[in-house]
A and B are shown apart, each in its own frame.
Chain A
Amino acid sequence: MLSTLFDGLSLGAIYALIALGYTMVYGIAKMLNFAHGDIIMVGAYTILTTLTMNGHPIIGVVAAVLVCTVAGIVIEKVAYKPLRGASPLAVLITAIGVSYFLQSVAQLIFGSKSQAVQLASFGTVKIANAEINIGTLITLVVGAVIMIALTLFVKYTRTGRAMQAVSEDRGAAQLMGVNVNKIIMITFAIGSALAAAAGVFYLLQIPAVSPTLGSMPGIKAFAAAVIGGIGSIPGAMLGGVVLGVVEKFALSVPALAPYATAIEFALLILILLVRPIGILGKKRREKV
C-alpha cells in the first residue's frame, strides 16, 4: 500500500516534469508541442551514447540535459518560430511532423530495436514496513526540488514574471519591453531540460530506450497537463501526480491492472466533463 503510493508519487513526478513543458509552452507560445514527449527519447539516447563510450552515468545525465535543452531551442527556432501568427492547425501539424522527424532520425542512427540503458541500480530502504526503492525516492525528492525551484523562478525572477505576463497578455507584455521571442525560446529551453530530467527518472524505472520511448509518457503527461488545467504550472504538477498515483494503484490491483491506461484516460474524460478547464485551470477572460 505505502510502497504503491511511493511508486505512484514518483511516477507522478515524472509525468509532472513532462507536463510542465506542455503547459508552459501552451501558456506562453499558445501552441501544443506534440513533439515534447520525444525530447525524453533524445535524452535517453544521449545517455545510452555516453554509457557506450564508457562515460560516467552522471556525465550522461548532464549531457542529456544539455542536448535536450539545445534540441528544444533549435526545434522552436527552425520549426515553430517561422509559423508565429499562422493558424493553430498549421502549428499543430508541424509539431506532429517534428515528432515523427525525431523518431525517424533516432531510428536511422540507433535502429528500431529497444536497447538496454543501465543507468544505475539501487537497493531498497524500509519505511514503515514497506520496501521502497531508493531510485523511487530519488525521483520523488529531486523531482520535488526541481518543481519548487521552477515555481520560485517563475514567481520571483524578472524572466519568470515576464513569462507570466506573456502568458496572460502578449501585447501588454510587449508594451512593457518584453521580447516575446526570447521568452518563448527560454520556455522551450526550460521545458526541454525538465523533459530530460524526466527521461532520466524514467530510465531508472524502465531501463530501456527505443525511438518511440517518449510517446506514451508524452501522451500521459499531456493528459496530466489537461487534467490539471493546461497553462497552469501548479496544475501540471497536480495533474501529473494524480495520474501517476492512479496508474500505480490500478496496476497494483490484479483485476484492474490490464485496464490501467484506460482508467487514466477515463479519469481525463471524467474531469473534463465536470470541469472542462481542468482542476486548476483558469477561465479565459474576455478581452475588453
Chain B
Amino acid sequence: MAMLEVKDLQVYYGVIQAISGISFEVNKGEIVTLIGANGAGKTTTMQSIMGLIPIKSGSVFYEGQNITKTPCHKIVTLGMTQCPEGRRIFQELSVYDNLLMGAFAIKDKKGLKEDIEKIYTRFPRLEERKNQIAGTLSGGEQQMLAMGRALMSHPKLLMMDEPSMGLSPLLVDQVFDIIKDINNDGTTVLLVEQNAGKSLAISDRAYVLETGKIVLSGTGKELMESEDVKKAYLGG
C-alpha cells in the first residue's frame, strides 16, 4: 500500500478547472517529484492534498486513511506537512519562534529542546540568528528556516514546493543535498520543482504535470532520458 495515494483528483478555482483528474502515489521512503511548467497545477495539487484548497472530486489516502475532507491542522498531526511555495515563514516572529510554531502540532513538549538542537545542527545559520526577526533573513536563510520549521513537526511525509526557487546555484545544490539527507533520515518526500534536472537526479520516481493532467511518469532516471522531458524541461 502506498503511503500517499491520490485518486482521480479534480480541483477547481470557481468555474476554472485547475486539476483535471490526476492519480499518483508516493511510497514510504521515496523521493517523488512533480515537474511541470508554470501554471501546470503543482502547487494546487499540494495545497489540495493538505486540505487548504477544497477538492471537487476524487480522493486522497494517507497511510490507508481517507483524508480527502480532513482539515489541514488534523492532517499535520497525522504526520504529513508541507514546506509551501514562497517559504511563507512568519516574518514578524523570531527564528526561534518560527521553529516553535513548527512544533505546534507536537503535544509532548519533552523532546522540544532536542528537536531544536537537531535543526540547529542541520542549519547552523539558524542558531546564529535564532533571535533575529525572520523577515530580515536572507532568501537562503529563509528557505533553511522554512525547511527547519517543517521538520519540527516530525513529518513522516514532507511535501516541498519549489524549495530552490530564487536561490544562488551554490545554495540550490545545498538545498538538494539537504533534501537527500532528510530522506535518508527516514522522511518520505514529495517534491515540486522547476529545476527538473537536479530534482530528477535525486528522485526515485517522478510525474510530469501539464495543465492539470499527468502526461508522463517513470523513475527519475527514465524521465531524465526521455526526449520529451529533455526538450520541455531540461533545456534541450
Binding site for B on A (CB under 8 A): 158, 161-162, 164-165, 168-169, 171-180, 282, 285, 287-288
Asked if B91 and A179 make an inter-chain contact with CB atoms under 8 angstroms apart, the answer reads: no
- Most A Cβ at <10 Å: residue of B76, B101, B105: B101
Q: Quote the shortest CB–CB distance from B116 to chain A (angstroms).
A: 14
Residues of B within 8 A of A285 (CB): 91, 135
Complex contact A176–B86 (CB within 8 A): no
B: number of interface residues (CB 8 Å): 31
Taking the nearest CB of chain A, how far is it from the CB of B43, in angstroms? 11
Whether B220 sits at the interface, judged by CB under 8 Å, is no
| Chain B residues whose CB sits within 8 angstroms of the CB of A178 once the complex forms | 73, 101, 104
Q: A164-B92, A165-B90, A179-B71 are in contact. Are A171 and B52 (CB under 8 A)?
A: yes
Whether the pair B76, A177 counts as a contact (CB closer than 8 A) is: yes
Q: Which of chain B's residues 148-178 have a Cβ closer than 8 Å to chain A?
A: 149-150, 153
- Interchain CB contact under 8 A, A168 and B92: yes
A-B residue pairs in contact (CB < 8 Å), sample of 21: A161-B93, A161-B97, A161-B100, A162-B104, A164-B93, A165-B90, A165-B93, A174-B50, A174-B51, A174-B52, A174-B72, A175-B76, A175-B82, A176-B76, A176-B101, A177-B81, A177-B153, A178-B73, A179-B73, A287-B86, A288-B87
Closest A residue by C-beta to B82: A175
Across-interface contacts of B77 in A (CB, < 8 A): 177
In the assembled complex, which residues on chain B have CB atoms less than 8 Å from the CB atom of A158?
Answer: 100, 104
Main secondary structure of the interface of A (DSSP, over half): helix
Decide yes or no whether B84 CB sits under 8 A from chain A: yes
Q: Closest residue to B54 on the A side, CB-wise? A: A85
The CA of A177 and the CA of B91, in the complex, are separated in Å by 18
Q: How far is the CA of A162 from the CA of B105 in the complex (A)?
A: 11
Instruction: Collect the chain A residues with CB atoms within 8 Å of residue B90's CB.
Output: 164-165, 168-169, 172
Cα of A180 to Cα of B51 in the assembled complex, Å: 13
Residue in A158, A174, A179 whose Cβ sees the most chain B Cβ within 10 Å: A174
The answer to whether A175 touches B50 (Cβ under 8 A) is: yes
> Of all chain A residues, which has the CB nearest B149?
A176
CB of B36 within 8 Å of the partner chain = no
* Cα(A165)–Cα(B94), bound, Å: 11
For A177, the chain B residues whose CB sits under 8 A away are: 73, 76-77, 81, 104-105, 153
Contacts of A169 in B (CB 8 A): 88, 90
Q: Mark B110-136, 1 if CB is under 8 A from A, else 0.
A: 000000000000000000000000010
B81: chain A residues within 8 A (beta carbon): 175-177
CB distance from B104 to the nearest CB of A (A): 4
Residues of A within 8 A of B87 (CB): 288
Task: Tell me whether A162 and B101 are in contact (CB under 8 A).
Answer: yes
Q: Judge if B210 is at the interface, Cβ distance under 8 Å.
A: no
B102 CB-CB contact with A under 8 Å? yes
Report how far A288 CA is from B85 CA in the complex, Å.
8
Given contacts A161-B104, A168-B91, 11 further A-B contacts (CB under 8 A): A164-B90, A165-B93, A171-B84, A172-B89, A174-B51, A174-B72, A175-B76, A176-B104, A176-B105, A285-B91, A288-B86
